[in-house]
Amino acid sequence: MRVAAIDCGTNSIRLLIADVDLDAGTLTDVVRTMTVVRLGQGVDRTGEFAAEALERTFAATDLYAAQCREHGVEAIRFVATSATRDARNRDVFLSGIEQRLGVTPEVISGAEEAALSFRGATGALDAAHDAPFLVVDLGGGSTEVVLGTDRPEFAHSMDVGCVRMTERHLAGDPPSAAQVADAERDVHDAIDLALAGVPVERTATLVGLAGSITTVTAHALGLPEYDRAAINGAVIDIDDAIKACDELLASSRAERAALGFMHPGRVDVIGAGALVWKTVMQRVRAAVVDAGGRLPHVVTSEHDILDGIAFSAAERAAERPAEER
């Protein structure tokens, strides 16, 4: 079945058109693309979507709708996450999306976001990696952490992400030591709440998802340009990943923009994303070591919530009566 999965987050809107074989449990990409629209621009401060952010998101959705028609998509699932959960005027956004796609967009909870991310990421992991898996999906407005083996067992959504932390704390170029310290306190407070409900000390494999983490991985690998094949499944020593985070956080926007793998839409927010990822890695490794274990490396996956949305779209469509498909 050919389906479309659309994930609309705080920083970007992404489209996956894929052929899903539910019996075999496989997913084959037809189109996988991303547009930085910064839907969450100012939401942390104002509580509302900005008019220009809505315009950018609607324009990208028009393009995605055309691609769905071009590729003969049979079912579409549109999922909105952190920024939409927080915005008072989300009805304007939701009605605009429905007009363009003909489907009702879903504002999902942090718990469902975590579950979809876990399914997408672990379904594509190399069998050499040991469970339990701790999957970390670092977005623009929130970061989901979910622990499980073949399914999510514990999950928590933290209200820290690359856009939210940039707008709240990291105005400097590069950010000052005081700004970084304020952001770190915010992230540590959020992680404290997550660790109260997720036993991360059980982690055997730490898996990182989404644009901030894949960008950090590209830097750690020394890639001259963004290479999805090289990044997907990359196993990075945690100390090397932390070093890459520190370098991106300390660099100026001009220095970040000069990096061949850097998407222009991440230049201003990658420092905050790197700070969140570094702090999560440090806290998780410390918890594992305190429990008598080891966590020497992190695995990066290019398979994430989009893959989980695509599988769920195919399952929903398969459950409908034939005359409704």
Per-residue pLDDT tens digits for 7-47: 998 888 999 999 999 888 888 999 999 998 988 888 888 88
Contacts of 80 (CB under 8 A, 6+ apart): 8, 9, 90, 93, 94, 97, 105, 106, 107, 108
Buried b (16+ CB within 10 A) or exposed e, 33-51: ebbbbbbbbbbbeeebbbe
Q: Which two tokens stand for residue 244?
A: 């890459």
> How far is it, in rounded angstroms, from Cα 169 to Cα 161?
12
Average pLDDT rounded to a whole number, residues 87-100 = 91
The pLDDT of residue 67 is 97
The answer to whether 144 touches 117, Cβ cutoff 8 Å, is yes
Q: What is the pLDDT of residues 278-295, one digit of tens each?
A: 999 999 999 999 999 999
Q: Is the pTM of this model over 0.75?
A: yes
Work out the number of other CB atoms within 10 angstroms of the CB of residue 24. 7
Domains, the chain: 2-109+306-324 (3.30.420.40), 125-302 (3.30.420.150)
Q: Where are the beta strands (DSSP E) in the chain?
A: 2-8, 12-21, 26-36, 75-80, 106-107, 133-138, 143-148, 152-158, 205-209, 235-237, 297-300
Buried b (16+ CB within 10 A) or exposed e, 249-288: bebeeeebeebebbbebbbbbbbbbbbbbbbbbebbbebb
The pLDDT of residue 224 is 96
The pLDDT of residue 127 is 74
Query: What does the mean pLDDT of the chain come to?
Result: 92
Q: What is the pLDDT of residues 225-281, one digit of tens each?
A: 999 999 999 999 999 999 999 999 999 999 999 999 999 989 999 999 999 999 999
pLDDT-wise least confident of 126-130, 166-170, 171-175, 225-229: 126-130
Q: Which residues are registered as beta bridge partners of 205?
A: 133
The pLDDT of residue 324 is 56
Whether residue 140 has pLDDT greater than 90:
no
The pLDDT of residue 307 is 92
Whether residue 136 has pLDDT greater than 90:
yes
